[in-house]
Structure 1
Amino acid sequence: MNFIPPVAFRRLLGFAFVFVSASATAVPTYTVRPVGLGGSYGNTSAINDAGAVVGFSWTAGDLERHAFVHAGGNTTDLGTLGGNFSRARGINNLGQVVGSSRTSQGSELRGFLVDGASMAALPTPGVGSTASGINDSGAIVGSFWTEVQWQSLAYVYQAGTVQSLGTLGGSGSGASAINNVGDVVGSSSLAGDQEVHAFLYRNGLMQDLGTLGGNGSWASDLNEAGQVVGSSLLSDGATLRAFLYSDGVMTDLGSMFGGDSTASGINNRGQIVGYSGRPDFRTGGGFLHENGITYDLNTLLDSEGWYIDSANAINDRGDIAGSGCYRDYCGGVLLVANHPVSEPGGTLLLGLGVVAFLGRRRSRA
């Protein structure tokens, strides 16, 4: 029979309520749902707070790659601007979707907006454009190309006006995401075009976020508090690591498996998702980073047989858009967070249950 020493028993009694209370905020498990258009492969890009996911997928028969939105259990083909390719990159809480598509001209790429049922090309001051993000005010960010050496420049589009955000001194830049405050993140070349750094654009100024010691960094997403995530080269010039930029400091988030890692999304709770690889470059997996701890998403699934190879975006509820494989399927997935639920007074009752259980264990020793 197991025996709990008196001192240990008293400590367990003292900490029973603390332990139970902490378990109510434990990391959730996830139920995996495939999203896509029936083709052999696809991926996701963004998710809104209602759980609507956007991305791209091969169509049935693998004839073309189209942008899609998955909402309410149904996946909708968003079509193209006349070409054979489109990809959705962002969605806001109003359900407006942005991305890029080839036009009927074949090689021409244009940013688009889907507001309702139709896909409309966004105006561009250059010869081509992409759209990467949209906030709840309808402000859109992305990149456009000029005819001068196909220079790429970050932009914000709102109320019919395209505003170039400039660069950090180099010849090119691109924007990845915008929050509801109007802050924009992306990357830009420095003077001389020998380095590319992540930037935060705020109040008309583009701020260089630096690197983790290498000569390159790229910002992927930000939340309403202005926390930024992305990836950066380390001082060895070869290793890529996920980062969190907060309060003026860029922090290396490490790697689950010892290889490269990238951070793709962050929500307003500070939860971060991304990809972590192995040194052999052959395998990797999606991760969730929360409260300073990185979790392998494949250890948090309640859906058997799935393998999540990347996590691309996370909403404020904790639902995740990513990609994964199950048997013959490899493509976009929605990971629905299953949060622990406590009834009113449940923490106290459960705490008393722990005490009673420990008491029975002790009395039987």
Structure 2
Amino acid sequence: MPDISMVVSLAKTLNVSTDYLFGLEKNEIDDNVYVELKRHIEKIETESGRKAEAALLSCQFMLKKVYEAPDNYIYSVFFVEQVANLSRFVDLEKYAEDKWAEYRELAIKYGSNAIRFANNKEWIERAHFALAWIYIHDRNYAYAREHIEQLPSVSSNRLQESILAQLEAFENGIDAMDEAVTKNLQNFVRAINKENLYAMETFSWQKPLRAVEFGQWAIRLIEVFGENKYLKSYCRGFLRDIYKYLINAEVILGRFENAAKYFEELKEQMQKQYEYHQSILSDEAEKAKFNDRQIGYMEAYTQEFIKEKQQDVVNYILGCWPGKMAEKFAEAIGYSK
């Protein structure tokens, strides 16, 4: 119980607010901060020549943020997620191995602190998820499993979503239930798309024929989801990356015309996404049905953003396949630097 005269000095030294010292500040999630961070990371990825380099720069950027505000668990967990991304390149490409030990230990430290002290379940779960990836790429499978076991699972079929909508119906009426159903489906769609995307990344390199079959199905599924206008926004990044790995699989198979066809499909799909976002943003009643984070994503989905992401797909393929394969792919899509 320090003397009251020490409170301001303690807060300055620890780089926290006085409210935080007294347990009055809850570090509520600020969607605007999250979207701003995500946009900055995407800018780093766009401006960097290599994905591995971008991963390292993103870690450095977020670590600076963490040092500026060590009590901000959005920053801490976002840093851990960038280290999890870097772990792929350290493991598979031996990139930045000299810096890995430092970043791994810092990620474990800040991720563990977030799990212990954050008061928002989303960020606790994201910390577990990112730490699991770090341990997987570090070949520490026992620790990875410990974090995975802390995450929610659909295996019990007794999820909050399975009953919350019905609670809303009884407590607040059918319209409230309708809103709850939409929110539940948005979460389910994200989970399904993430599962498909992770599978596509692995299939495209190890079983390209399976990747083509699986990717076509995953895209059809996203198109069905998109028939519901309140789910379409939750598919955009997943759709783009599934196409990216589908194109990569076709290049591996030497089917460059197919790769070009899928790239054209991707461009058409992204334009449709843009037009859909504009229709939502121009209608205040429709905007109110999405949270601030999703509205931020929609606003950032500009024509410039679309071109950058399409270029990222091209750069990914050309970076994976230098030489003749890159030349054939570039020729098939009519690309020239």
With normalisation by structure 2, the TM-score equals 0.30
Name which structure has the greater RCO, CA cutoff 8 Å, separation 6+: 1
Structure whose residues are more often helix by fraction: 2
**Which structure has the greater CA radius of gyration?**
1
With normalisation by structure 1, the TM-score equals 0.29
